[in-house]
Amino acid sequence: MKNKKYIKGFLEDIVLHLINEQDEMYGYEITKKVQNLTKGAIAVSEGALYPILHKLENEKKLTATFKKVDGRTRKYYTITPEGGKTVASSSTELIDFFSGMQQIFNLKPVVK
């Protein structure tokens, strides 16, 4: 995405949602999942991602465990009950927000 201001406000929600769906994920995996799901339209840099992961861990919305995979140690994040509550409430808030944005901008689906 060329304009990073849009992604910045949604990054926490994106991270929590993806980890909630996958049960556990590590940082690089999250960046690749976002890129794949959006067909490259949204790219999350590791420099933006890791502060969010640490913040969510400090807020007790995520827990982390280290696992050795193929000789490398990775930090896997899982969602906590508190994080699960945030996912549920943010989903409703996002639907309302995007509905409002659609009304303001009269957005039409793009057919490619």
pLDDT of residue 85: 94
Q: Give the start-to-end residue ranges of the domains of the chain.
A: 4-104
Maximum C-alpha span of the chain? 51
Residue 110, pLDDT > 80, answer: no
Q: Model's pTM, two decimal places? A: 0.85
- 4-104 topology per CATH: Arc Repressor Mutant, subunit A (1.10.10)
All residues at 6 or more sequence positions from 101 whose CB lies less than 8 Å from its CB, including other chains:
107
Handedness of CA 23, 60, 68, 72 (dihedral sign): positive
Q: What is the pLDDT of residues 27-59, one digit of tens each?
A: 999 999 999 999 988 899 989 999 999 999 999
Q: How far apart are CA 62 and CA 54, in angstroms?
A: 9
Taking alpha carbons only, the member of 52, 49, 53, 72 closest to residue 64 is: 53
Q: What is the pLDDT of residue 34?
A: 95
Rounded to the nearest integer, the mean pLDDT of the chain is 90
Give pLDDT, residue 3. 59
Residue 1 has pLDDT above 70, yes or no: no
Q: What is the pLDDT of residue 2?
A: 52
Amino acid identity of 30? Answer: I
